[in-house]
Amino acid sequence: MRLLPVWLTCDRENGLNLKAMDAEQLREHGHKMVDFIADYYKCIETFPVLSQVEPGYLRKLLPDSAPVQPESLQAVLQDVQTKILPGVTHWQSPDYFAYFPSNSSVAGFLGEMLSAGINMVGFSWITSPAATELEMIVLDWLANLLKLPSDFLSNSPGGGAIQGTASEALLVVLLAARDKVLREVGKDGLGRLVVYGSDQTHSSLQKACQIAGIHPENCKLLKTETCNEYALSPESLTDAISHDVASGLIPLFLCATVGTTSSTAVDPLLALGKITKRYGIWFHVDAAYAGSACICPEYRHHLNGIEEADSFNMNCHKWFLTNFDCSALWIKDRNALIQSLSTNPEYLKNKASQGSTVVDYKDWQIPLGRRFRSLKLWMVLRLYGVENLQAYIRNHINLAKHFEDLVAQDPRFQIVATRTFSLVCFRLVPANKNEDYVNKLNRELLDVVNSSGKIFISHTVLSGKYVLRFVVGAPLTEERHVIEAWKLFQETASTLLENS
Ligand SMILES: *Cc1c(COP(=O)(O)O)cnc(C)c1O
Q: pLDDT tens digits, residue range 138-148? A: 999 999 999 99
Is residue 207 pLDDT above 80, yes or no? yes
- Residue 203's nearest CA partner among 254, 260, 259, 253 is 260
454 φψ region: left (φ > 0), alpha (ψ -120 to 50), beta (else) = alpha
CA distance 474 to 101: 6
Contact of 257 with 200, CB cutoff 8 Å: yes
336 phi and psi angles, rounded to 5 deg: -60, -45
Q: Tell me the average pLDDT across 291-309.
A: 98
Q: Nearest residue CA, atom 1 of ligand 1?
A: 288
Q: Nearest residue CA, atom 12 of ligand 1?
A: 288
Nearest atom, ligand 1, residue 327 CA: 7
- Residue ranges and CATH numbers for the domains of the chain are 7-90 (1.20.1340.10), 110-381 (3.40.640.10)
Measured in Å, residue 100 CA sits from the centre of ligand 1 at: 9
Q: Name every residue whose Cβ is closer than 8 Å to that of residue 233 and which is 6 or more positions away in sequence.
A: 222, 224, 225, 268
Nearest atom, ligand 1, residue 168 CA: 9
Length of the chain: 500
Task: pLDDT band for 128, please (50, 70, 90 cuts).
Answer: very high
Q: Which residues pair with 311 in a beta bridge?
A: 284, 331
State the average pLDDT for the chain: 96
Dihedral, CA of residue 107, residue 108, residue 112 and residue 118, to nearest 10: 40
Q: Which amino acid is residue 273, in one-letter code?
A: G
Is residue 15 pLDDT above 60, yes or no? no
**Does residue 166 line the site of ligand 1, with CB under 6 A?**
yes
**Does residue 163 line the site of ligand 1, with CB under 6 A?**
no
Task: pLDDT band for 268, please (50, 70, 90 cuts).
Answer: very high
Contact of 294 with 303, CB cutoff 8 Å: yes
Dihedral, CA of residue 284, residue 286, residue 290 and residue 295, to nearest 10: 40
Tell me: cis bond preceding 79? Omega within 30 of 0 counts: no
Measured in Å, residue 166 CA sits from the centre of ligand 1 at: 5
305 φψ region: left (φ > 0), alpha (ψ -120 to 50), beta (else) = left
Which of the listed residues 102, 103, 163, 167 should we mutate to test ligand 1's pocket, taking the one with most ligand atoms within 8 A of CB?
167
| pLDDT number for residue 436 | 95
| pLDDT number for residue 445 | 98
CA distance 109 to 317: 11
Enter the DSSP assignment of 53: P
Measured in Å, residue 203 CA sits from the centre of ligand 1 at: 8
Angle separating helix axes 374-409 and 129-145, nearest 10 degrees: 30
Least confident residue range of 2-6, 53-57, 109-113, 359-363: 2-6
Is residue 182 pLDDT above 60, yes or no? yes
| pLDDT number for residue 3 | 54
Q: Nearest residue CA, atom 8 of ligand 1?
A: 165
| pLDDT number for residue 356 | 83
| pLDDT number for residue 16 | 57
Nearest atom, ligand 1, residue 289 CA: 15
CA distance 255 to 309: 10
Q: Tell me the average pLDDT across 360-371.
A: 97
Tell me the three state secondary structure of residue 96. Answer: strand
**pLDDT for 322-344, tens place per residue?**
999 999 999 999 999 999 999 99
Nearest atom, ligand 1, residue 287 CA: 13
Is residue 312 pLDDT above 90, yes or no? yes
Q: Which amino acid is residue 266, in one-letter code?
A: V
| pLDDT number for residue 10 | 43
CA distance 98 to 165: 18
Tell me the three state secondary structure of residue 362. Answer: helix
Q: Which residues pair with 257 in a beta bridge?
A: 286
**Does residue 167 line the site of ligand 1, with CB under 6 A?**
yes
Cβ neighbours around 311 below 10 Å, total: 27
**Does residue 460 line the site of ligand 1, with CB under 6 A?**
no
Least confident residue range of 7-21, 49-63, 87-101, 473-487: 7-21
Tell me: cis bond preceding 325? Omega within 30 of 0 counts: yes
Measured in Å, residue 103 CA sits from the centre of ligand 1 at: 14
| pLDDT number for residue 500 | 76
Measured in Å, residue 53 CA sits from the centre of ligand 1 at: 26
Task: pLDDT band for 265, please (50, 70, 90 cuts).
Answer: very high
Q: Tell me the average pLDDT across 476-489.
A: 98
Measured in Å, residue 287 CA sits from the centre of ligand 1 at: 8
Is residue 13 pLDDT above 70, yes or no? no
CA distance 251 to 269: 18
- H or E stretch at 354: helix 351-354
Which of the listed residues 103, 261, 314 should we mutate to test ligand 1's pocket, taking the one with most ligand atoms within 8 A of CB?
261
| pLDDT number for residue 499 | 86
Nearest atom, ligand 1, residue 164 CA: 7
